[in-house]
Every structure is written in structure tokens, then in C-alpha cells.
Amino acid sequence: MSAAAEKSPHIPVLIRPLIAAVSPVSGVWLDGTFGNGGYTRALLAAGADKVIGVDRDPLAFEMAADWIADYGDRIETVAGVFSKLDEYGADLDGVVLDLGVSSMQLDLAERGFSFMRDGPLDMRMSQDGPSAADLCNGADEAELADIIYLYGEERASRRIAKAIVAARPLTTTLQLAKIVEGCLPRAKPGQSHPATRTFQALRIAVNNEYGELAEGLMAAERALKPGGQLAVVTFHSVEDRMVKRFLQARSGNTANANRYAPEIEQVTPAWRIEKRKAIGPDEQELAENPRSRSAKLRVAIRTDAPAEAIDPADLGMPMKKKKGGR
């Protein structure tokens, strides 16, 4: 493990309001994004009997090796994806998902997530399968433009995709960041780095993050027992929209849904939502952890209605065009 990973602990975002929203905490919980173990330890401290910690990044459990034994059998770790969380636990009292990229990943240049540190253009959370470099060097220009626009909400996606194709082969993060910077105006003070949206888009595509989220929400519905709680922390508008629409659709309440979205058939409520509005960071958290500024927390309680599948398209999940079609 690198020194950067040891010195840059991941700060759990919205941990205080999350614990307050799901209290009293008891029984068996599943932390679908174990990361540095912040949520897991907070749940155990709040009263959980056991937490099943799931992560697809092998580094997460490597970093936990020096403290996890202190909890004995109160923590069970699973190397896997949260889209399959119902295979790792059943009749759960709670599920927590933190959809942000942890600082332990961003701080390691060799993982290729950051446009501020030079490293291989990787971005794979599981450290296997096709990398961001494979995507940049192998996808055609139109597909790259779609990914950057849909997953990064980048308006200059076509210009950036064209520049990427012209610069192939790409192998490093700073090489890609420089290409994107050359396609966009220089950032003004206070604005995000020009490469932010492109790096986000590629990371989401490489790790199938939106597909994982849609499947993970449905898996949580299958895994939670009646009265069990789901808490999801999101970091940008697409993720929050997907979580919000899922809970609206499966709680039988679509009154506040986007009026342009496809009409969703009314169902027997599988969730009870006590707070319709997402919970954001307070002034104390913003001062302690600026990373929390875009975070939103949504919490829902499982009913005894049967679990059902939902079409990801109904959640506002960005969908790439199929080849040969529009």
C-alpha cells in the first residue's frame, strides 16, 4: 500500500445525518461501498450487531487489515459489486450505499482516477476488465462523444472526442487532461478543472456505475426485510435523479416525478419515504469536508410488498445509442 493511501483517509460524507436518519440502528446491515470502512464503523458504533462490507476494490480490504480484526465476527467482508448485494445478505435491517469515489482511489496516481496526478489511464475500481485507456483508444469518435455527453454532461463532448481520437494512443491521465484542457476555455477562479466532466464520464463508463446503481437499488429491495432501511448518498444530479425516481416509482408516489418522464404504472408501495427532500451537508460538515458540498442523502423504509424489477430507463438513467440507430 502506498504512503498516499495511508495518509489520506476517506472522510465519510453525511455520516452524522445518515446515522440520525436511520436510528435506532440494530440488527444486520450491509455497507455496499465499504471503502475505508467509515460507514461500517459508524453503524457498528450506533448499535448494529453486524455489518456485511462489500467492495469491488481489493485495496479497500487491504487498507482495513490493521483494524478490522478488532471487530471480530461483527464485520463480514465480501469482494463483490453492490448490484448483487441480495446474494450476500437477506432479511437485512439496513443497506447503505455511498456512490462517491473515495479519496484513497483519487490519491493514488497509479489508479488513474485523477486528472491532477500523472498515472496510467486506468480508472477501474475492481482493477480488472477494460480500462479507460482501452476505451479512449478503442471506441469510435461517436461512441466517445456519447459517453462524455451522457455521463459527464459535457457540452463540448464532440470536440473532445475528436481530439482524443486524433491524439491516440493515450496512456496517461495527464495526457488526457491536457487534451481536454485544449478543447475548453481556461477555468476561472472557483470553477472546476476543465477535465472534470470528461474524467467523470469515462470513470462511470468503465465501471458501469449507472447500471450498477439501477441494479443495486432493485437488489436492496429484494434483500431488505419489512421495516429495513435504505440510505443512499449521491454526488451528482444523475445519480440523485435515479434514486429519487426509483423511490417515487416503488413507493407508489410519482406526483413529483419529471412530467416529461415515461408514465410509470402505479404499484403496491414497496417503500415508505418519510422525508421527501434529500438531506444535504450542514455548515459544520462543509467546513470540515468541502468534498461534501454536492452530496445528497435519501432514506426509505421497506414495506412488506413483493420486490419487483423496474426498467432503468424509467429512472432517467442515461442510455447510449445503439450502433446503427439514433
C-alpha angle 174-144-316 in degrees, rounded to nearest 5: 115
pLDDT reported for residue 27: 98
Q: How far is the first Cα of the chain from the last one, in angstroms, to the nearest whole number?
A: 46
pLDDT reported for residue 264: 55
pLDDT reported for residue 7: 40
The answer on pLDDT for 100 being more than 90 is: no
The answer on pLDDT for 258 being more than 80 is: no
Q: Rounded to the nearest 10 degrees, what angle do helices 157-167 and 173-181 cross at?
A: 130
The answer on pLDDT for 182 being more than 80 is: yes
pLDDT digits 0-9 by tens, 301-311: 999 999 999 99
pLDDT reported for residue 117: 81
Could you tell me which residues are annotated as the binding site?
A: 37-39, 55, 82, 98, 105
| Lowest-confidence pick of 3-7, 115-119, 236-240, 243-247 | 3-7
Percentage of the chain surpassing pLDDT 90? Answer: 74
- For the chain, the average pLDDT equals 89
Which pLDDT band holds residue 217 (cuts at 50, 70, 90)?
very high
Among the listed residues 49, 51, 25, the one whose alpha carbon sits nearest the alpha carbon of residue 38:
51
Which pLDDT band holds residue 254 (cuts at 50, 70, 90)?
low
* Cα–Cα distance, 33 to 46 (Å, whole number): 18
The answer on pLDDT for 324 being more than 50 is: no
pLDDT reported for residue 104: 62
Could you tell me which residues are annotated as the binding site for S-adenosyl-L-methionine?
A: 37-39, 55, 82, 98, 105
pLDDT digits 0-9 by tens, 129-152: 999 999 999 999 999 999 999 999
Contact 121, 136 (CB under 8 A): yes
Q: Strand, helix or coil at 96?
A: strand
With b for 16 or more beta-carbon neighbours within 10 A and e for fewer, the 289-317 pattern comes to bebbeebbbbbbbbbebeeeebebebbbb
pLDDT reported for residue 261: 58
Residue ranges of domains in the chain, CATH in brackets: 15-103+210-255+264-315 (3.40.50.150), 108-208 (1.10.150.170)
The answer on pLDDT for 252 being more than 50 is: yes
| Lowest-confidence pick of 53-67, 178-192, 225-239, 289-303 | 178-192
pLDDT reported for residue 103: 62
pLDDT digits 0-9 by tens, 146-172: 999 999 999 999 999 999 999 999 999
Q: Provide the 10 A C-beta neighbour count for residue 167.
A: 15
Please state the rounded mean pLDDT for residues 212-233.
Answer: 98
